[in-house]
Amino acid sequence: MAVVEIRGIRKYFDKVKAVDGIDLSIKKGEFLVILGPSGCGKTTLMRMIAGLERPTAGEIVIGDRVVNDLPPRARQIAMVFQSYALYPHMTVFNNIAFPLKAQKVPKRAMQEKVEWAASMLAIAQLLDRKPRQLSGGERQRVALARALVKEPTVLLLDEPLSNLDAKLRASARDELQRFQRHLGITTIFVTHDQVEAMGLGDRIVVMSGGKVRQIGTPQEVYHDSADTFVATFLGSPGMNLVERDNFLVGFRPEQFIPKEATKSQDNLKSLPFKVNRVEYLGAEQLVYGVIEGTIDDDSLILAKLSSELTLRIEVGQCYDFVVQQQQLRFFDKSTGQRIEPRPF
């Protein structure tokens, strides 16, 4: 059952096409991630769902109603901004209670709900403080509590983790996901961080230039990327692309390993790989180099190897690296779209 439907949504700012034709259907209880680089239109899309921008064309449907003409407060949504937007002059309690006050909820019910939201996010002891007295992580929880307290149909999150320290981000991600599963609330999460997207989303919508490139589960967008943009955007590092005749061949760095390290010897494509640089990252090493020989391509190729590998990789040497045939992906050279496998 679709809770949110987006039909043919466009947003043009004079000549700039921020969002250029998007169709999307979000199921109840789903955690949907909208992923893309800065300027791809993801925040504009979210703002249109929230009602902070009016679409130039198209319809937005929330829970069976077309909401294009409705202001944010009539849409049964809650939103957490990247900056958290906590009201600096109000206490944490009043911040969380604010949506309830707007709905004229009676005092006792309001008290209960605020305490419920606060204890769910483990901030009950902070209710008397002001935002400037809180840490980044605490502020984020207050913002979430405020969003949840009115039990919205849809929860919108605009890069809520990007202001946190790197270490904090991982645990915040974990909490957020458990939280969402527990409450079963339909969530739309916008981010530019593909690791976050992969870790959190039930489905990922990959956007670029105002258009949707692919919608799918993390597995689908990673292993069955629809075009070169998705293939290179996802993965750290992204997919390697090699030009050949009139098409592109792609393989992921972790799939590109030395011949000596493979167990089976069938269905392998072997490529001579000259190493320029090795980056030791602890558990892994990133090997930078170029493909030699018949393939006339100077692009930088990366291989991601475990540091546990017995074989020592030396700079300046040439090795036989292999990829499994079924792992190769083929893309059209001009459009970037995925095409059928062919001899290579």
Verify cis geometry, omega within 30 degrees of 0, for the bond prior to 341: no
What CA–CA distances, in Å, run from 295 to 36, 102, 169, 251, 321?
32, 66, 42, 15, 14
Whole-number minimum distance, CB 334 to other proteins, in Å?
41
Whole-number minimum distance, CB 155 to other proteins, in Å?
11
Tell me 130's DSSP state: -
HSE value, Cβ hemisphere, 13 Å, CA-based, for 246: 2
Map 205-265 to HEC letters.
EEEECCEEEEEECHHHHHHCCCEHHHHHHCCCCCCEEEEECCEEEEECHHHCEEHHHCCCC
What CA–CA distances, in Å, run from 110 to 68, 78, 266?
30, 17, 66
CB 70 within 8 A of CB 49: no
Smaller CB distance to other proteins: residue 45 or 204?
45
Which region among 14-22, 86-94, 243-251, 334-342 touches other proteins (by CB under 8 A)?
86-94
Among 14, 64, 69, 340, binds other proteins (CB under 8 A): 69
DSSP assignment string, 158-185:
ESTTTTS-HHHHHHHHHHHHHHHHHHT-
Among 8, 13, 57, 87, binds other proteins (CB under 8 A): 87
Whole-number minimum distance, CB 160 to other proteins, in Å?
13
Smaller CB distance to other proteins: residue 52 or 311?
52
Give me the phi and psi of 18, to 5 degrees please.
-70, -45
Whole-number minimum distance, CB 97 to other proteins, in Å?
10
Among 58, 72, 237, 272, binds other proteins (CB under 8 A): 72
The two structure tokens encoding residue 95? 């911040």
Which region among 101-109, 160-168, 286-294, 295-303 touches other proteins (by CB under 8 A)?
101-109
Using CB under 8 A, which residues numbered 103 to 122 contact other proteins? 103
Smaller CB distance to other proteins: residue 71 or 316?
71
Smaller CB distance to other proteins: residue 103 or 267?
103
Smaller CB distance to other proteins: residue 188 or 249?
188
Reference 57, options 6, 106, 101; nearest CA is: 6
CA dihedral 312→275→254→298, nearest 10 degrees, is: -170
Site string for other proteins, 293-312 (x = CB under 8 A): --------------------
Among 50, 123, 148, 303, binds other proteins (CB under 8 A): 50
Whole-number minimum distance, CB 43 to other proteins, in Å?
11
Give me the phi and psi of 178, to 5 degrees please.
-60, -40
Whole-number minimum distance, CB 233 to other proteins, in Å?
27
Q: Sign of the CA dihedral 192, 42, 31, 255?
A: negative
Contact between 160 and other proteins (CB under 8 A)? Answer: no
Contact between 61 and other proteins (CB under 8 A)? Answer: no
Whole-number minimum distance, CB 4 to other proteins, in Å?
15
Which region among 22-30, 85-93, 163-171, 218-226 touches other proteins (by CB under 8 A)?
85-93
Q: Sign of the CA dihedral 120, 123, 128, 134?
A: negative
Smaller CB distance to other proteins: residue 81 or 330?
81
Contact between 83 and other proteins (CB under 8 A)? Answer: yes
CB 101 within 8 A of CB 146: no
Q: Which residues of this chain interact with other proteins, rule CB under 8 A? A: 50-52, 69-73, 77-79, 81, 83, 85, 87-89, 98-99, 101-103, 130, 132, 146, 150
